[in-house]
Structure 1
Amino acid sequence: MKKYLVAGLLVWMPLAVTLWVLLWLLGVMDGMFLWLLSISEKVLPLGAGDIIEQLRRIPGMGVIVMVAVLVGTGVFVANIFGQWWLRQWDRLLHRIPIVKSIYSSVKQVSDTLFSSNGNAFREAVLVQFPHAGAWTIAFVTGRPSGEVAGHLATEHVSLYVPTTPNPTSGYFLLVPRSSVQPLKMSVDEALKYIISMGVVSPPAPAVPAHTTLPAPPGEADPNRVG
């Protein structure tokens, strides 16, 4: 009985958690949309109240509006005028005392994670941590540059070592490239391995079949029969 109960939990738990997260995101987006509608209702003319009330009754409208805003923003900042406007916006936020520290930190992280030109989390590797002889999985985030690179005699790589089961916290390391062992598993497979604390292991890479090389001229082939 216990065996079947655990098997059922393994089937339904990922689906239940996925649905819960999706419903939570939908609720957050709809809540933001309703909040914007409430503000618009106070600013717009009285004749727009009926339209706002109809929009409020449409389920999932917040998701549609959020996606439209994100796509529209991406299209806007893709041209020269949008880039100029974005630079002015950055300068404005960097002049506000408290906001600039939060905004700059979040922007640096988002630029690192979502930049198509960066190397963040593009490769999973093995590294000895926290001491020699103990190995853990890490992700290559780039290469040292600037003043830091000037103090390093050999080629180093920047690594992020996540904790388990919460990979959003971890350690930042600068280690020699020769001390890192690349892995063939993808970043997603490595994250699953870390979050599951080693329970969900990725499949082993395919090993090519053994091929018998022909014997040199003048020597008998040991695999030949008769």
Structure 2
Amino acid sequence: MLRFIGRNILTGLVTILPVLLTLYLIYWLARTIEVALGESIRALLPGMPYWPGLGLLAGLAVAFLVGMLMHAYLFQRLFALTENLLYHMPLVKTVYRAIRDFFDYFSPTVKKEFEQVVVVTLGDSGMEVIGFVTQESSGRLPEGFDTEGSILVYLPLSYMIGGYAVLIPRSSVRPLNMSVEEAMRFTLTAGVTGISQSGPISRPPLRHH
């Protein structure tokens, strides 16, 4: 009886926790924007009546305006100059560059290299692992790590945030017909989730140089 109760409690937790955590993350982000910009609005316009949610709307409006301004050449130049200053500040440049590279992956205006899912064969063992191509061009790799005929592949680790960026000969890599999201979910859960029943998504073929 206790085993039956425990199994159903565990099933319930596994079912509702991902939903609750996702909703909480969205709530936390919205709440943070609301509090930060809400205080700014009250300070700048003390006589203006304030309604809950005004800070969040202001945040969305600011993001929209910045997105529009980024299409203007002058604003692009000003932003580039600001970034250039950050890139020359000790410690700040390291943190900012890592954050910038992360968010650039989600930018609709930046070409993504992290888009090809591949299977990597490890030596003569026949062992295969799922990876993601991050650099196909040797010209974009550090000097001494730009072996001709090789590509840079990211190998994620299961059940944790992290992985290895390894230089792999093209002969040891073959494309896998999966989306990045599906492959990442499959890898991070060690294959426990399986793959979507809707079938694989067609991906562009791996380019050969």
TM bin (shorter chain): 0.7 to 0.9
2:174 aligned residue: 181
Q: Secondary structure at the match of 1:106?
A: helix
> What is the aligned-residue RMSD (CA, Å)?
3.0
Structure 2 letter corresponding to 1:197? A
Structure-2 separation of matches of 1:197 and 1:151 = 30
Pick closer, same or farther for the CA change 1:133–1:35 going to 2, 3 Å.
Answer: farther
Q: How does 1:1-226 map to 2 (within 5 A)?
A: 1-2=4-5, 3-37=7-41, 41=43, 44=44, 48-51=45-48, 54-55=49-50, 58-112=51-105, 114=107, 116=109, 118-128=111-121, 132-143=125-136, 144-146=138-140, 148=142, 154-167=148-161, 169-203=162-196, 205=199
Pick closer, same or farther for the CA change 1:151–1:172 going to 2, 3 Å.
Answer: closer
Q: How many residues align?
A: 194
Work out whether residues 120 and 130 of structure 2, in 8 Å CA contact, stay in contact via their aligned partners in 1: yes
Q: CA deviation at 1:203?
A: 4.0
Work out whether residues 113 and 121 of structure 1, in 8 Å CA contact, stay in contact via their aligned partners in 2: no
Pick closer, same or farther for the CA change 1:135–1:78 going to 2, 3 Å.
Answer: same
| Superposition misfits of 4+ residues, deviation over 6 angstroms | none
Q: Which structure is richer in relative contact order (CA contacts within 8 A, separation 6 or more)?
A: 2
Structure-2 separation of matches of 1:6 and 1:20 = 20
Q: CA deviation at 1:60?
A: 2.8
Q: CA deviation at 1:88?
A: 1.9
Q: Secondary structure at the match of 1:140?
A: strand
Q: Which runs of 5+ in 2 are unaligned?
A: 201-209
Moved more, 96-105 or 110-119: 110-119
Work out whether residues 193 and 200 of structure 1, in 8 Å CA contact, stay in contact via their aligned partners in 2: yes
Work out whether residues 104 and 110 of structure 2, in 8 Å CA contact, stay in contact via their aligned partners in 1: no
Q: CA deviation at 1:110?
A: 3.3
Structure-2 separation of matches of 1:181 and 1:111 = 26
Structure 2 letter corresponding to 1:136? V
Work out whether residues 38 and 54 of structure 2, in 8 Å CA contact, stay in contact via their aligned partners in 1: no
Q: CA deviation at 1:80?
A: 1.2
Work out whether residues 158 and 188 of structure 2, in 8 Å CA contact, stay in contact via their aligned partners in 1: yes
Q: CA deviation at 1:19?
A: 1.5
2:205 aligned residue: none
Q: Secondary structure at the match of 1:166?
A: coil
Pick closer, same or farther for the CA change 1:26–1:110 going to 2, 3 Å.
Answer: closer
Work out whether residues 125 and 181 of structure 1, in 8 Å CA contact, stay in contact via their aligned partners in 2: yes
Work out whether residues 125 and 180 of structure 1, in 8 Å CA contact, stay in contact via their aligned partners in 2: yes
Pick closer, same or farther for the CA change 1:97–1:13 going to 2, 3 Å.
Answer: closer
Structure-1 separation of matches of 2:35 and 2:122 = 44
Work out whether residues 119 and 140 of structure 1, in 8 Å CA contact, stay in contact via their aligned partners in 2: no
TM-score by length of 2: 0.76
Q: Secondary structure at the match of 1:172?
A: strand
Over the matched positions of the two proteins, sequence identity in percent amounts to: 26
Q: CA deviation at 1:201?
A: 0.8
